[in-house]
């Protein structure tokens, strides 16, 4: 947990790191220096009145997430249309009100699409003839389909729960000959990339997952370990922007 926080702070220059451990950087030395105004600045950012103001932004947040889903999925179907080859049905697990699956259904109208989420979420699903909406619990049973999609779902959960979710997915999908697969859309931490913006983006999300759900973003090796533990030995990886698309086969 502390390692997730320090990894981001090192990336942003708040601390430095050597083989011996962590140390102050010029930024943190400034924060600690006598007479520095940084304390007041930080206090402003965490002031209760400022923090509480965000509680009234839930509607705006939901709209923003829907907008993000639309843009991301349009990029995915445009960049990786082969993901949907050979399948006749798809279930979007944890798909909320249906923003993601609507993009898929509009792009592939011959595909039978279903959004699957908790009953109280499904009660607010988009009214659309292009897909069905089913309520339930992904830890118990997932509706049968050729393929299952999980977009920004697994990063909300620790490894043990991710494995359980993937096991339910494995039970729900068709054999590979019938297009059976699990499609996972997630960020992947890659500290070796030269894209510093991508590193900072994934590490910020990593810290957000830690604070919100005691969860995390994962590296390629960490994703590999989760997939293997859930019984998925064969998979492919595609990149769309800062996102990784994992195509898992039963």
Q: Which residues are catalytic?
A: 155
Q: What is the DSSP string of 99-121?
A: HHHHHHHHH-TTSEEEEEE-HHH
Residue with tokens 């994992």, as numbered in its chain: 246
Identify which of 133, 33, 37, 43 has the alpha carbon closest to the alpha carbon of residue 92: 133
Output phi, psi for 132, to 5 deg: -95, 160
Other beta carbons less than 10 A from residue 204's beta carbon: 15
Closest among 126, 125, 129, 130 to 108, alpha carbons compared = 130
Alpha-helix runs per DSSP H in 92-219:
99-107, 119-122, 159-172, 196-213
**For residue 36, how many other CB atoms are within 10 A of its CB?**
12
Alpha-helical (H) ranges within 108-158 are 119-122
Alpha helices, DSSP H, located in the chain: 2-11, 26-32, 38-45, 48-53, 58-79, 99-107, 119-122, 159-172, 196-213, 220-229
Residue 52: exposure state from Cβ atoms within 10 A (0-12, 13-18, ≥19): exposed
């Amino acid at each position: 947990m502390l390692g997730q926080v320090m990894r981001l702070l090192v990336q942003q220059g708040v601390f430095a790191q050597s083989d011996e451990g962590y140390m102050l950087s010029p930024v943190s030395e400034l924060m600690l220096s006598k007479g520095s105004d940084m304390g007041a600045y930080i206090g402003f950012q965490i002031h209760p009145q400022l923090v509480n103001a965000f509680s009234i932004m839930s509607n705006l947040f939901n709209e923003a997430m829907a907008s993000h889903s639309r843009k991301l999925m349009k990029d995915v179907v445009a960049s990786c249309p082969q993901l949907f080859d050979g399948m006749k049905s798809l279930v979007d697990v944890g798909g909320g009100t249906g923003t993601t699956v609507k993009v898929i259904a509009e792009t592939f109208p011959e595909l039978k699409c279903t959004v699957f989420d908790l009953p109280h979420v499904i009660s607010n699903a988009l009214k659309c003839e292009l897909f069905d909406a089913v309520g339930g619990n992904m830890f118990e049973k997932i509706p049968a389909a050729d393929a299952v999609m999980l977009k920004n779902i697994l990063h909300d959960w620790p490894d043990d729960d991710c494995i359980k979710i993937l096991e339910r997915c494995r039970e729900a999908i068709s054999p590979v000959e019938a297009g059976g697969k699990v499609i996972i859309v997630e960020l992947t931490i890659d500290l070796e990339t030269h894209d510093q913006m991508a590193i900072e983006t994934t590490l910020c999300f990593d810290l957000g997952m830690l604070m919100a759900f005691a969860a995390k973003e994962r590296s390629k090796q960490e994703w590999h370990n989760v997939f293997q533990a859930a019984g998925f030995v064969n998979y492919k990886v595609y990149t769309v922007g800062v996102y990784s698309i994992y195509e898992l086969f039963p």
